[in-house]
Chains A and B, each alone.
Chain A
Amino acid sequence: MTLAIEAEELTRDFAGGVRALDGVTFAVDEGEIFGYLGRNGAGKSTTVRILTTLLRATSGRAAVLGHDVRTDAGAVRKVFGAALQDAALDELMTGREHLEMAGRLVGLGKTKAKERAAELLESFGLKAAADRIAAGYSGGMRRRLDVAMAMVRRPQVLFLDEPTTGLDPQGRRAVWELVKELRDGGSTVFLTTQYLAEADELASRVAVVHDGRIAAIGTSKELKDRLGTTTIRLKVAPEDHRRIRDAVHPDPVAEDDGWSEVTVLGGEAAVPSVMARLVGAGVNIDGLAICPPSLEDVFVELTGTEIEASAGGTDVGKITAVRRGLGVPTGPGR
């Protein structure tokens, strides 16, 4: 079986000695939605630019549907559709004209290009704005038009570089639905994102990329089982905090706002025995929450920072990382 996308030891150095990618290896099966998760600057866009033949790798090799992106770039460009991180539109062209031009360029006849454009305008909710020039489009409309252009030829492999950044929740849902439809139609989707929920919702497998390397790769469940943490949150009287620590030792405990948070080292399977020990120790539980591992924990574990931290301010991010990662050692060194 041909792999949809293969990358082997990809590296890319930029002028000034910046190494954007540092030996990235992964394989994507046909029909898969592959989530490529990382912060800004992790190397997501560089990977996409190499796979879509826009940029040459400094070393390593990559192929799309068996065509080498370097030696057989022409063949590669005929099988994929792609929307890059910044929606690049011609300000003086209307939405319809963009799609019709894209259709013609990928080889559709005049009538077919018009039909396809009308279809996409409809499914991306751009029908009303179809004949206005792009200069007047909102951020969300620009992004939707850009993604629509990537889908003009019903690509076998679709690259979407942060397709929902800047979209409102409805717009995000709409893109998600379209991505799923494409997968159901047999296409492969390579999706970069900085939203954990997006990777969790869509991707059959996730690669966490950090500082130009793949930090972990697997299904969302595998990653959570392997690297995530299950926590039990307990609302108790202050005098019970001590009792909890003794009962669950050596599992780490943190206190916060009248809540005790126990990180269950044994994972979800160990929750019942920890609960039994708490009850046995006579802890009076006023409130209880069991938090299963999340992709966010995995991300913190792998990269030492929370992903949303990069989108906001660094200081705020650090504080959240510490608060959310209660009991889990964090820090830039990890």
Chain B
Amino acid sequence: MTPFAQVRLLLFRSLREGARNPVLAYALPVIIPFAVLVLVAKTLYRVTDLPGFPTSNYAEWMTPAIIMLTAMTGVGYAATSLVIDIQSGFLDRLRLLDVRPTALLLSRVLFDVARVLPAGAVLLVVGLVLGTNLNEGVAGVLLLFGLLVLWAAAYGGLYFVVALTTRNAQAPLALAPLFLPLQFLSTQFVPESLLPGWVQAISAWNPFTYMIDAGRAMTTGPLTAAPVVKAVAVATGMLVVTQVLSRRAYRRAMGD
């Protein structure tokens, strides 16, 4: 079987497994972003009255950020599953069937990405119901989901590095709340100009900020090259670094 076919078969296995554990696999990425979007849009909408706030539609301000957030709230499930595959001996079982170990790793990374797509779609619909306008049309939405996929793989990569380095299936759970500070230290709730100086400094180093800014360009507009290129560069960089590190840890965890 070709390596590509192996990845596809193993991805199918993950998706089917997810369907047997649907709350953890598919509902978790939706729940927190959904709650944040609805609660914030319904309780804090008057922040748009602040001088310098670029829009009066707070739901529209929040929606692209929240869609990017889906990549960060349910993350870690695939990394945990991979550690369990290693510890249970299932990886060895697959290797005995001539599966390349990287095919299993890749199938789990892709699973992390696949889980985010329905979540992103649900939140887009919720955003529309709350009054978000998609000024950049279908093209913008397609770009948004393209970036979401890339971001999910990049951010999920962090969890693979942690899980495979510690070889502890619980470790990704412990790291799950990382999305909380990252939200506040970004431009998710208010524009950069309204953040305190020290937060602005951190926000500029927060990769999530770049995803949010590009997401807004793709939905509210105007769609310009600069934020998109920056976001793609940041996410790709993160993806490459995390994949290199997790592959190295993966080899060590296989224990030869």
Contact = CB atoms under 8 A, between A and B. Distances in A.
Given A56-B256, A78-B98, A89 B90 contact: yes
B89 A107 contact: no
A37 interface: no
A237 interface: no
Contacts of A93: 13, 16-17
17 contacts: A54-B92, A54-B96, A56-B256, A77-B98, A78-B98, A81-B96, A88-B88, A89-B90, A90-B13, A92-B21, A97-B13, A97-B16, A105-B6, A105-B9, A105-B99, A106-B97, A133-B20
A49 to B, nearest CB: 8
A182 interface: no
A149 interface: yes
Contacts of B6: 105
Given A54-B96, A77-B96, A90-B13, A105 B90 contact: no
Interface string A94-133: 0001000110111100000000000000000000000001
Interface residues of B, number: 21
Interface of A: 52-56, 74, 77-78, 80-82, 84, 86, 88-90, 92-93, 97, 101-102, 104-107, 133, 146, 149-150, 152
Contact of B1 (A84, A92, A106): A106
Interface of B: 1, 6, 9, 13, 16-17, 20-21, 85, 88-90, 92-99, 256
Given A55-B256, A104-B9, A82 B90 contact: no
A88 B88 CA distance: 6
A146 B9 CA distance: 19
Contacts of B1: 104-107
Given A77-B98, A78-B98, A101-B13, A88 B256 contact: no
A101 B89 contact: no
A92 B98 contact: no
A152 B96 CA distance: 12
A99 B99 CA distance: 15
Nearest to B9: A104
B256 A92 contact: no
Contacts of A74: 98
B151 to A, nearest CB: 27
Contacts of B20: 92, 133
Nearest to B255: A55
Contacts of B97: 102, 105-106, 149, 152
A146 B90 CA distance: 10
Nearest to B91: A88
B256 A54 contact: yes
Given A105-B9, A107-B1, A92 B95 contact: no
Given A55-B256, A101-B9, A90 B95 contact: no
A68 B88 CA distance: 28
B98 A149 contact: no
Given A93-B13, A105-B6, 7 more contacts: A53-B95, A55-B256, A77-B98, A84-B93, A90-B85, A92-B20, A105-B99
Contacts of A55: 256
Contacts of B96: 52, 54, 77, 80-82, 84, 150
Contact of A88 (B16, B93, B99): B93
B92 A88 contact: yes
